[in-house]
Amino acid sequence: MENTVKEMYEKGIFVEKFRIITDSGKLKWIKSKFLPIKNEQDKIVRVVGIEQDITRDIENKMEIIKQKVKAENMAMRDYLTNLYNRRAFFQLAEERCKKAKCKGFNLVLVMADIDKFKNINDNYGHDIGDLVLKNFAQILKTSVRENDLVARFGGEEFIILLKDINLEDAYNRIEKLREMISETEIKVSDEKIKYTASFGISKVNCCDYKSLEEAIKIADKALYRAKENGRNRVEIIN
């Protein structure tokens, strides 16, 4: 109450917004204005109050914020797989790298690529190719931990950032993922489609200014080695 009176003296008005629940159970926003009436000695002798229903204004503002957040989220997502896109990955990965540097935990980067994806498109068509991409993305998404980061990097190539893990444990985790994918079947009409994927792993040195770019280059070399050694493999370059 003292703060209310003080503000009326200083500003000549006191404004407050609050919510109420009506008898029908609906939420209503109210804006109250309190105007002081002063005497000749500049003391407040009366207060005039005005109440205004601002529910529609608040709801409109909340809807604008909601749509803005939705648009920003869509801009960070790959349209086909609903994973993060390349731009979002770099934005989020840079933040993870800064936290890793401050708190002293490891980050491991994984490049993943569907083997002979062009053959899938050529033999079954791009619609089936899209199904394979969606299936692969879903497996990646459900296989990583909550604090890990997975994104579609471009085409049939995907990228994973594993938090607080060493290279050996990362290899074992990705090897299990590789096995899961190789055992996956996608049913299309009367036909079952199987596919495999190759993976390249590298450690992220968050103390280096270009740590992510370097880790991606190294993981990409490891991925290339996996392809050269017969595909459906996991390779590490430390």
CATH code of the domain containing 116? 3.30.70.270
Q: Is 94 a catalytic residue?
A: no
Residue 154 vs residue 41, higher pLDDT = 154
Q: Tell me, yes or no, whether 213 and 228 share the same domain.
A: yes
For the chain, what is the total number of helices (H) and then of strands (E)? 7, 10
Examine the pLDDT at 157 and tell me if it is beyond 90: yes
Q: Tell me, yes or no, whether 123 and 221 share the same domain.
A: yes
What stretch of H or E contains 32? strand 27-38
Mean pLDDT across the chain, nearest whole number?
A: 89
Task: Tell me the pLDDT band of 1, cut-offs 50, 70 and 90.
Answer: low
Task: Determine the average pLDDT of the residues in 99-120.
Answer: 89
Tell me the CATH number at 23.
3.30.450.20
β-strands 234-236, 197-204: how paired? parallel
C-alpha count within 13 angstroms, C-beta hemisphere, residue 134:
9
What is the count of structural domains for the chain? 2
Dihedral angle over CA of 77, 78, 84, 88, nearest 10: -70
The residue annotated as part of the active site, out of 16, 59, 146, 156, is 156
Task: Tell me the pLDDT band of 210, cut-offs 50, 70 and 90.
Answer: low
Examine the pLDDT at 209 and tell me if it is beyond 60: no
Q: What domain range is 8 assigned to?
A: 2-74
Q: Tell me, yes or no, whether 94 and 192 share the same domain.
A: yes
Q: Tell me, yes or no, whether 48 and 158 share the same domain.
A: no
Q: Tell me, yes or no, whether 172 and 57 share the same domain.
A: no
- pTM for this model (two decimals): 0.73
Q: Tell me, yes or no, whether 143 and 230 share the same domain.
A: yes
Asked if residues 101 and 206 have their Cβ atoms less than 8 Å apart, the reply is yes
Q: Tell me, yes or no, whether 106 and 137 share the same domain.
A: yes
Which tokens sit at 91? 């934005």
Residues 6+ apart with CB under 8 A from 179: none
